[in-house]
């Protein structure tokens, strides 16, 4: 059927206009990318060499992570999220090299752009700072403001400098959690929950309006221990009493009133900082320390990423390698980008390590609150094949290794954790929302026929009792599997595992006491343990990871150079928190079974 001439002409013009707009925006994007490439290639002031007698500036940006995630082009262009991340190993490796480098006289900590870091990784960086100080070189920290995580690292410095209008804020560990039960009731959403574990609190936001007594008690003991570790370390670093630090936090308002609201003076009077310097004063101070000239405040200093690039040696393979594989993020099915533990993508790296004759042992570095039970088991099976091949497997726990994160760790030859690692949460749950109430409220109903009680299993008709029995039995079976797995891997009885399971979360120190962890130590300790088990002395550590494509490298470089734009700084308050919590529950397990520590998502980083 032919179109009327006028209508046909309209659609031809519309089509040409769309093509023209598509071409225009495509070329605009190309020019944008080209400009960024030119800036990356020719911009900046990268020094040609490491300054003799200079200072290395450690200025981490964004969250400190085990492994940088992939940069989403939409995020880069729109500035709708956090772009920069800093690998933990970049900081520790910088401190190690700077301590041994005769050209370097000291390190400067500029922590203002570090947005989050887990308590465990805080202690890892702190230990590296302490080792650096033992070299006899100077360590200086400065900032306009110190949050709790930033201040712990700053407290290791010989001199802590604060802006005269700055503040040191130490609120402690903890926080609030959003509960959606009443909202779901008002929307008519019926969330069917199946779980095992008295303390498995990941589902509580969907069935309660507050924390259960069991969840509150377990969470409280964990944050109390982490806070005690924090106070003990800061007091030791600064030569202060824990009582003074507790008073500084608990009576902060009274101390501020005594100093007429001057936050910087309050920090100085309590011994948390050594000097109050404006930015011009600070620049002059650092220039003098670095031997810079009057007109060039940056002379004699070098940023740590530049320093790493200039001091990297050859990366030639050796016959004996200890492979390190990072499992960071929630555990999900299929292939996933960096920042999410994909069952297929992580399994591919494990197979690569197993088939590489140069790799004599593997260290699995875990920083994960768990996720899909099926994905966790697929990863564990691949790890089992690695061990069956005769290669030792050592687990090194980072900030969090809980629920599914512990599932994939349980069978390792040795498990190492930081004292502040959040681990355990041995439990399992299933959760299926149905919307028959929501539809009924707007006059929509579902009806049909079936041949069995399981036929009409959809989100519009609710869950029948026979189907609910199936889900509950499956969850209980999953928990028994979890208990057997841990019992076999840890040399415990299932009753012993159940006593410390039931969804309870522990610090690394507590987990060692309960037999869930073998040793306390960092990644380097785990690597040495893997070499010992493999009976190799001369070895090289190598990260086994999917290499970045040229496009990913370009996006990563763009993110590091342009940073997040204004939209990334818009705070959505409670709504942002709610959507973040909901997004963390990646409900795509094929069996609807999850082993996830929701509490760990909130506490795993500051």
Catalytic residue chosen out of the listed positions 219, 396, 403, 507: 403
Active-site residue, 200 included: yes
Q: Any residues with CB less than 8 A from the CB of 357 and at least 6 apart, and which?
A: none
Q: For 337, phi and psi rounded to 5 degrees?
A: -75, 165
* Separation in Å, CA 221 to CA 148, 225, 228: 20, 6, 11
> Could you count the other beta carbons within 10 Å of the beta carbon of residue 344?
15
Residue that is written with structure tokens 């082993």 in the block:
595
Buried b (16+ CB within 10 A) or exposed e, 226-245: bbebbbebbbebbebeeeeb
Q: Which of 114, 109, 122 is nearest to 157 (CA)?
A: 109
Confirm if 211 and 204 have CB atoms less than 8 A apart: yes
Distance of alpha carbon 331 from alpha carbon 236, whole angstroms? 38
Buried b (16+ CB within 10 A) or exposed e, 456-489: bbebebbbeeebeebbbebbeebbeebbebbbeb
Sheet holding 275-276, edge to edge: 275-276, 159-162, 138-143, 104-110, 54-58, 301-303
* Separation in Å, CA 349 to CA 328, 379, 483, 532: 13, 10, 27, 22
* Separation in Å, CA 302 to CA 45, 275, 313, 364, 368: 10, 23, 18, 33, 33
Read off the tokens for 56.
């290395």
Q: What is the CA radius of gyration of the chain?
A: 27
DSSP letter (8 states) at residue 62: E
Confirm if 308 and 87 have CB atoms less than 8 A apart: no
Distance of alpha carbon 193 from alpha carbon 535, whole angstroms? 48
Distance linking the first and last C-alpha atoms of the chain: 65
Beta bridge pairs of residue 557? none
Read off the tokens for 466.
């026979």
Distance of alpha carbon 558 from alpha carbon 560, whole angstroms? 5
Catalytic residue chosen out of the listed positions 118, 133, 155, 200: 200
Q: Any residues with CB less than 8 A from the CB of 264 and at least 6 apart, and which?
A: 162, 163, 164, 165, 166, 167, 273, 276
Read off the tokens for 531.
């070499």
Angle at CA 490, nearest 5°, toward 487 and 493? 35
Confirm if 165 and 271 have CB atoms less than 8 A apart: no
Angle at CA 247, nearest 5°, toward 241 and 252? 135
Read off the tokens for 309.
């690039």
Residues marked as catalytic: 200, 403
């Amino acid at each position: 059927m032919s179109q009327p001439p006028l209508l046909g002409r309209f659609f031809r013009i519309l089509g040409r206009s769309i093509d023209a707009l598509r071409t225009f925006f495509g070329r605009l994007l190309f020019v944008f990318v080209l400009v960024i490439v030119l800036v990356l290639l020719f911009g900046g002031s990268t020094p040609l060499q490491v300054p003799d007698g200079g200072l290395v500036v450690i200025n981490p940006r964004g969250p400190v992570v085990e492994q940088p995630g992939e940069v989403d082009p939409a995020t880069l262009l729109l500035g709708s999220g956090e772009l920069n991340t800093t690998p933990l190993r970049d900081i520790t490796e910088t401190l190690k090299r700077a301590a041994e480098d005769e050209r370097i006289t000291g390190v400067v900590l500029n922590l203002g752009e570090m947005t989050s870091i887990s308590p465990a990784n805080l202690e890892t960086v702190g230990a590296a700072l302490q080792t650096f100080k033992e070299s006899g070189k100077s360590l200086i920290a400065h900032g306009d403001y110190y949050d709790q995580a930033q201040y712990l690292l700053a407290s290791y410095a010989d001199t802590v400098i604060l802006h005269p209008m700055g503040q040191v804020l130490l609120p402690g560990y903890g926080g609030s959690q959003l509960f959606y039960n009443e909202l779901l009731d008002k929307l008519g959403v019926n969330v069917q929950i199946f779980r095992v574990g008295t303390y498995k609190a990941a589902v509580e936001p969907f069935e309660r309006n507050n924390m259960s007594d069991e969840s509150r008690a377990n969470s409280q003991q964990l944050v109390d221990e982490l806070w005690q570790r924090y106070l003990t370390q800061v007091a030791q670093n600064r030569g202060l009493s824990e009582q003074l630090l507790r008073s500084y936090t608990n009576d902060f308002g009274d101390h501020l009133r005594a100093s007429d609201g001057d936050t910087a003076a309050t920090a100085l009077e309590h011994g948390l900082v050594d000097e109050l310097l404006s930015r011009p004063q600070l620049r002059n101070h650092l220039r003098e320390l670095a031997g810079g000239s009057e007109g060039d405040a940056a002379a004699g200093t070098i940023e740590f990423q530049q320093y790493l690039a200039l001091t990297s040696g050859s990366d030639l393979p050796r016959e004996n390698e200890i492979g390190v594989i990072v499992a960071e993020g929630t555990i999900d099915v299929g292939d996933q980008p960096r920042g999410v533990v994909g069952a297929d993508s992580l399994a591919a790296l494990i197979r690569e390590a197993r088939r590489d004759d140069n790799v004599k042992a593997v260290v699995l570095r875990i920083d994960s609150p768990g996720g899909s039970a099926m994905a966790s088991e697929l990863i564990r099976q691949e790890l089992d094949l690695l061990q069956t091949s005769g290669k030792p497997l050592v687990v090194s726990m980072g900030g969090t290794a809980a629920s599914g994160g512990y599932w994939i760790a349980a069978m390792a030859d040795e498990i190492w954790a930081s004292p502040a690692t959040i681990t355990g949460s041995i439990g399992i749950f299933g959760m299926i929302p149905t919307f028959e109430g929501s539809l009924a409220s707007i006059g929509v109903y579902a009806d049909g026929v079936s041949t069995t009680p399981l036929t009409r299993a959809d989100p519009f008709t609710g869950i029948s009792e026979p189907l609910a029995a199936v889900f509950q039995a499956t969850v209980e079976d999953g928990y028994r599997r979890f208990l057997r797995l841990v019992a076999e891997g840890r040399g415990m009885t299932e009753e012993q595992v159940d006593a410390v399971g039931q969804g309870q979360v522990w610090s690394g120190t507590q987990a060692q006491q309960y037999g869930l962890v073998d040793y306390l130590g960092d990644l380097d300790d785990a690597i040495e343990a893997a070499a010992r088990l493999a009976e190799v002395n001369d070895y090289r550590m190598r990260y086994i990871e999917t290499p970045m494509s040229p496009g990913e490298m370009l996006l990563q470089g763009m993110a590091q150079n342009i940073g997040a734009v204004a939209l990334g700084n818009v705070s959505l308050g409670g709504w942002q928190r709610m959507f973040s919590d909901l997004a963390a529950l990646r409900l795509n397990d094929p069996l609807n079974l999850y082993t996830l520590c929701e509490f760990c998502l909130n506490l795993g980083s500051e």
